[in-house]
Every structure is written in structure tokens, then in C-alpha cells.
């Protein structure tokens, strides 16, 4: 029995030594796998928080454009997203992926819009309050995106970008707190340029060391 105990102990010790040797030999792979696991976990956690925020945001878009006796004061622009509000189908994975990209990884106004109107003189007598009056963009959460706008054309460009963002929020709202939405959001976070750059830096560091 004592010999058998020694054999078992020796076998466990040998296995432990082999594992340590393998870990030392493949430490780059292990560290890389750890970074990958941490990155995926973080992307899923962030996606969950984003989705829980997007549901009331999508609902707010829907409520803003509901029929109301006083809707004439703020319903301008609702006609452009009316078909999206009317949809009741469940979005697919790639539609959700595009929605998360549009809702969380697009700047408004976009860099393209900023470059397009940079240096263009402001219109004489332009007033942002007047330009937004009677539209759904007059509310404070949306109005902040027009802080630098001083021409009617720039206002219209930003309005169309907000329409795209709100279509994305409505898509996420239709999906609800589903696994498809969770994983689509995680993929959108992982394909963010900053995330890709961070992964490239980690891979380069591991190759150099």
C-alpha cells in the first residue's frame, strides 16, 4: 500500500512538473488566451449595459412620435422613421450587429459631416431654436447634437444621422433582452477600431517578447 501511495504521489508530481514545463514553453499562448477571454467577457458585459439602456431609449423614440393632440409642436421628422416604428418583426443577428454599431459606434455629427461644413459661413440670421421648432429634434437629448450647426443644410444632415441612430435604437428595442442582441452588441464592441488596435498591440508585444 505504501508503495502504491508513493507511485500515486510520484505520478501527480510528475504531471505537475509536465504542466509547469508546458506553461513555461507556451506562456505567450496562455497570456494571449487570457487577454482574449477577458476581452470577450468585457464586450459582453458592456453589450448588456448598452442593451438595457437602449430599450428605454427606443421606447422614448416611439413615444415621441405617437399621435397626440399637441404633437404638432414636436412631430416634425417622425414621418421619416414611421415605417421603423410600425415594424413588429424580430431582427436577425446581423441587423442587430449593424444596429449596435449605429447606436454606439457612430459619432453625431459624423466626421464626414463636420468636414463637409467646416469653414462654411453661417447663414445670416440663423437661429437653431427656429430651425428645430416643431420637430422631434427640439428636445434637449437630441438638440445637443446641433451645437455647432449654423446653416439649414447642416441641420438637415445632422437630422438624417439622428434618424439612422434612432432606427438602430428601434431595432434593438424590438429584439428586447435577447441572447441575439447581447452577442450582436458584443461583436460590435469587439470590432470597434480601438478594440482592434488594442488587440494588435497585445499580439505585437507577445511576438516581440
Rounded Cα gap, residues 73 and 16, in angstroms: 73
- Do the beta carbons of residue 136 and residue 75 sit within 8 Å? yes
| Mean local confidence (pLDDT), 30-47 | 83
Over the stretch 147-157, which tens digit does the pLDDT of each residue have?
A: 989 999 999 99
pLDDT over 90, % of the chain: 55
Q: Is pLDDT at 133 greater than 80 in this prediction?
A: yes
**For the chain, what are the domain ranges?**
2-208
pLDDT band, very low/low/confident/very high, at 192 (cuts 50, 70, 90)? confident
Quote the pLDDT of residue 170. 96
pTM for the full predicted model? 0.80
| Mean local confidence (pLDDT), 170-180 | 93
Return the higher-pLDDT residue of 31 and 165.
165
Rounded Cα gap, residues 206 and 191, in angstroms: 21
pLDDT band, very low/low/confident/very high, at 191 (cuts 50, 70, 90)? confident
What mean pLDDT value characterizes the chain? 84
Quote the pLDDT of residue 2. 47
Instruction: Specify burial of residue 98 (Cβ count, 10 A radius: 0-12, 13-18, 19+).
Output: middle
- On the CB side of 46, how many CA atoms lie within 13 Å of its CA? 18
- On the CB side of 25, how many CA atoms lie within 13 Å of its CA? 6
Rounded Cα gap, residues 2 and 129, in angstroms: 90
Q: Is pLDDT at 6 greater than 70 in this prediction?
A: no
DSSP 72: G
Return the higher-pLDDT residue of 16 and 72.
72
Phi and psi for 135 in degrees, rounded to 5?
-115, 165
Cis geometry, peptide bond prior to residue 109 (ω within 30 degrees of 0): yes
Over the stretch 44-82, which tens digit does the pLDDT of each residue have?
A: 999 999 999 999 999 999 998 888 787 778 888 999 999
DSSP 177: S
Rounded Cα gap, residues 181 and 89, in angstroms: 14
Q: What is the DSSP string of 91-158?
A: P-HHHHHHHHHHHHS--SS-HHHHHHHTTPPPPTT--HHHHHTTBGGGSHHHHGGGTT--SHHHHHHH
Amino acid at each position: 500500500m505504501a508503495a502504491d501511495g508513493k507511485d500515486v504521489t510520484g505520478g501527480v508530481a510528475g504531471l505537475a512538473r509536465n504542466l509547469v514545463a508546458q506553461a513555461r514553453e507556451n506562456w505567450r499562448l496562455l497570456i494571449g488566451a487570457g487577454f482574449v477571454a477577458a476581452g470577450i467577457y468585457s464586450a459582453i458585459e458592456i453589450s448588456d449595459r448598452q442593451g438595457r439602456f437602449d430599450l428605454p431609449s427606443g421606447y422614448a423614440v416611439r413615444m415621441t412620435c405617437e399621435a397626440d393632440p399637441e404633437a404638432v409642436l414636436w412631430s416634425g421628422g417622425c414621418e421619416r422613421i414611421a415605417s421603423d416604428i410600425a415594424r413588429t418583426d424580430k431582427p436577425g443577428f446581423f441587423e442587430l450587429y449593424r444596429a449596435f454599431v449605429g447606436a454606439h459606434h457612430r459619432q453625431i455629427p459624423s466626421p464626414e459631416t463636420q468636414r463637409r461644413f467646416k469653414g462654411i459661413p453661417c447663414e445670416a440670421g440663423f437661429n437653431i431654436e427656429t430651425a428645430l421648432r416643431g420637430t422631434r429634434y427640439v428636445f434637449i437629448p437630441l438638440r445637443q447634437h446641433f451645437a455647432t450647426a449654423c446653416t439649414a443644410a447642416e441641420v438637415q444632415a445632422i437630422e438624417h444621422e439622428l434618424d439612422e441612430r434612432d432606427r438602430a435604437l428601434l431595432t434593438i428595442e424590438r429584439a428586447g433582452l435577447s441572447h441575439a442582441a447581447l452577442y450582436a452588441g458584443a461583436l460590435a464592441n469587439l470590432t470597434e477600431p480601438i478594440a482592434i488596435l488594442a488587440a494588435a498591440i497585445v499580439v505585437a508585444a507577445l511576438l516581440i517578447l
